[in-house]
Amino acid sequence: MSTPAPLTGDSSIKTWLEHPVGGPILREMLAQSGQDADVLKPVHRLALKRLIKLSKGQFSQDAVDALVARAAAGDVPAGAADAAPEAGAASVTTDTEEVVPVAEAPEWVEKVTGGRFAGQTIIVTGAGSGIGRATASRVAREGGRVIAVDISQERLDEFAADHAGADVVVVSGDITDDAAIAAIVEAAGDRIDGLANIAGIMDDMTPIGEVTDAVWDRVFRINVTGTMKLTRAVIPAMLAQAKGSIVNTASEAALRGSAAGVAYTASKHAVAGITKSSAFMYGPSGIRVNAVAPGPTITNIEASFGSPLGASRVQLAMTLLPDAAEAEALAASITFLLSDDGVNVNGVILPSDGGWSVA
């Protein structure tokens, strides 16, 4: 058997977990905080060092350095030798339980296209967190003027501080509120080249027999009415320019009935409807309107399970769940549609989900 390569912060989490020394060390560290290796399953393809950003400070560069040093020294925790699973390639299981090896894909790294949004003003909602933040960041780093919108002033301040040299205007406000919509459009000024409607919330996985008015109204207000209001508000500027690109955020729940509760599923189908209607109406006027349908993505979004029936039904759809993507991977799809690279694309609901929608 060949000796495994030395572990570093760039080695994938999977490589760490399968390593005869690194695996037990990492498992020991997880156990100390009351967790096990399953918690890392959705991100097992990422480099270990990516956990620094994803864990929001809970896992530090010092922790990476300590793990790398212990692995190099062969410092296997006492009694852990038998705990590590066998190393090897990833695998899939056939219906006959035969294990088919699958090669591990190299890690994806975001590549910025310099100047892609130069001279353009792009409004991004939900810019304080997750997919919205990653999109606003990418537009800013590609030379665009970003109107970064979120209900959380604190998150926007942090976003602005992280993009100190870029052309960023923050507007804190609720996209369901008419005064906030007016403030967003005013901050953008005369020219609005793009709008990414990304702010949104999940539901509590309740089926229609159990959904409360409160959950239904809140999910529709933010996911549907907010998207409609802000889109309606930017149309005059885009019509005047005879050009504009709008990207909405749908979901796997816009494509099928098994990914969430009735409120979220219906709201994301409505987002698909807004997208198609607007693309049809304004295509000849130079405005493109598309949507992405993200699969599982690592963000701060919160879902709860308010119904045992809903939970058990939705879990069926999760059996074929792909690895969770980083928010930057969704930003790559959204900025493609937003940018002039998407020139011939209008009215699509683009699944950005690693292929989950065809499973």
159-164 — which CB contacts under 8 Å span 24+ positions?
A: 159/127, 159/128, 159/133, 162/137, 163/137
Segment contacting ligand NAD by CB under 6 A, of 19-27, 49-57, 63-71, 299-307: 299-307
Q: Which of 144, 226, 244, 261 binds ligand NAD (CB under 6 A)?
A: 226
Q: Which of 126, 194, 261, 342 binds ligand NAD (CB under 6 A)?
A: 126
Q: Which of 22, 130, 342, 351 binds ligand NAD (CB under 6 A)?
A: 130
Closest CA to 124 of 166, 96, 81: 166
Beta strand pairing call for 145-150 and 287-294: unpaired
| Window 163 to 202, contacts with ligand NAD (CB under 6 A) | 174-176, 198-201
H or E stretch covering 184: helix 178-188
| Window 35 to 54, contacts with ligand NAD (CB under 6 A) | none
Q: Which of 139, 196, 219, 222 binds ligand NAD (CB under 6 A)?
A: 222
CB 218 within 8 A of CB 207: no
Hey, is 54 helix, strand or coil? helix
Record the tokens describing residue 78, joined without a space.
């006492």
Segment contacting ligand NAD by CB under 6 A, of 6-14, 148-156, 310-318, 339-347: 148-156
Distance separating alpha carbons of residues 248 and 263, to the nearest angstrom: 18
Q: Is 294 in the site for ligand NAD (CB under 6 A)?
A: yes
Distance separating alpha carbons of residues 13 and 156, to the nearest angstrom: 31
Q: Is 299 in the site for ligand NAD (CB under 6 A)?
A: yes
Q: List, by residue number, the catalytic residues.
A: 264, 268
**What minimum distance in Å lies between the beta carbon of 249 and ligand NAD?**
4
**What minimum distance in Å lies between the beta carbon of 129 and ligand NAD?**
3
Distance separating alpha carbons of residues 208 and 203, to the nearest angstrom: 12
Q: Which amino acid, 121?
A: T
Nearer to ligand NAD, 126 or 194 (CB): 126
- Biggest CA–CA distance in the chain, Å, is 71
Q: With contacts defined by CB under 6 A, how many residues of the chain interact with ligand NAD? A: 28
Q: Which amino acid, 126?
A: G
**What minimum distance in Å lies between the beta carbon of 54 and ligand NAD?**
12
Q: Which of 18, 142, 150, 326 binds ligand NAD (CB under 6 A)?
A: 150
**Category of 354 on φ-ψ map: left (φ > 0), alpha (ψ -120 to 50) or beta:** left
Distance separating alpha carbons of residues 3 and 288, to the nearest angstrom: 54
| Window 228 to 257, contacts with ligand NAD (CB under 6 A) | 249, 251
Site residues, ligand NAD (CB under 6 A): 125-126, 128-132, 150-152, 155, 174-176, 198-201, 222, 226, 249, 251, 294, 296-297, 299-301
